[in-house]
Structure 1
Amino acid sequence: MPGSPYTLRAAAPADYDAIAAVVDDWWGRPVLPSLPRLFLDHFHRTSLIAQSPDGGLAAFLVGFPSPSLPGEAYIHFVGVAPEARGSGLGRTLYERFFDLARGEGRDVVRAITAPVNAASIAFHRRMGFTVGGPVPGYHGPGTAMMTFTRKL
């Protein structure tokens, strides 16, 4: 990331503890149950960590090529530290993941969010995703979700 104070690298399973320590604070509500350790144990190679100049966690993206849909990849969870928001770091993480997905032979990236997450919906629109939903029952009865699809 030329000119940026942040360093991007592939995630490692050991990054889970740093993410778990901040994710609920970054969201302002309990979201850690949506990100169990297994995601970094099994999908760290295609997940990303952004470190601040002091080596601390500035952002992360957990994503993977779909094992069931050969042309698709999925972004499961993304977090940017409040002090790093608006810096372009989220866009950089997504662009790097798009490169990883292309390298895996994928031409579609998907993601989801809750209908109340207006900032996420707006961000995905700016990133070129098609927004669908809310899809009733997406996460079970009574839980609608917004869907995002982007062709690479």
Structure 2
Amino acid sequence: MSQCPRLRPADPGDYDRIVGVVDDWWGRPIRSSLPRLFLDHFHRTSLVAEDDDGLAGFLIGFLSPSADDCAYIHFAGVAPRLRGGGLARRLYQAFFRIAAEGNRTEVRAITSPLNHGSIAFHTAMGFRVAGPVADYDGPATDRVVFRLRLPPR
């Protein structure tokens, strides 16, 4: 049995490993939602989880360059073999620390209204849930919007 996954900052070289598993982990084509630019430009605020079996999970996030109080989680995933064990929670909590250290007071994310697992997870993590917001990502592309206030430092 594998040990508890280790978390580390991502680096641009992690892109190929991550994009190589996302379609399998999601069970549908999703890789187009994760272009290389996220790891080229936001690797310092993104995380990778690894164990003896390899890639265990990841979180792609960044500190908003336009909203000084905001951090954003663009994409997070956990290997199916490890789901339900708290790894996603660990990744999010580590990102919350990164956001707080960057003087951010709010973390945001979005998902499809059909992604009930994501909605349940974010609700359990304490995010406020809004939506579905009609046409959020263009015509007929509704999204659920999540916001979490970070505790004062």
TM bin, normalised by shorter chain, reads: over 0.9
Could you say which residue in structure 1 is the equivalent of 2:143? 145
Give the % identical residues.
60
Cα RMSD after superposing both structures: 0.7
Structure 2 unaligned runs (5+)?
none
Structure 1: tracts of 5 or more residues without a match? none
> Deviations along 1:48-97, whole A, 9 cap, x unmatched?
0000124x100000000000000000000001000010010000000000
Q: Tell me the equivalent position of 1:45.
A: 44
Aligned match of 2:34? 35
Give the secondary-structure state (helix, strand or coil) at the position aligned to 1:142. coil
Counterpart CA distance in 2 for 1:17 and 1:80 is: 16
Q: State the match for 2:98 in structure 1.
A: 100
Determine if the alignment matches structure 1 residue 84 to structure 2 residue 82.
yes
Runs of 4+ with >2 A deviation: none
Which residue type is aligned with residue 113 of structure 2?
P
Distance in structure 2 (CA, Å) of the matches to 1:67 and 1:149: 17
Q: CA separation in 2, counterparts of 1:17 and 1:117?
A: 25
TM-score (norm 2): 0.95
Q: Secondary structure at the match of 1:92?
A: helix
Return the alpha-carbon distance in structure 2 between the equivalents of residues 35 and 52 of structure 1. 23
CA distance in 2, matches of 1:57, 1:125: 26
Is the CA contact (8 Å cut-off) linking 1:16 and 1:37 kept in structure 2?
yes
2:115 equivalent among 114, 117, 125: 117
- Taking the aligned partners of 1:36 and 1:12, their CA distance within structure 2 comes to 14
How far apart, CA to CA, are the structure 2 residues paired with 1:74 and 1:20?
19
User: What secondary structure, in the 3-state scheme, does the structure 1 residue paired with 2:147 have?
Assistant: strand
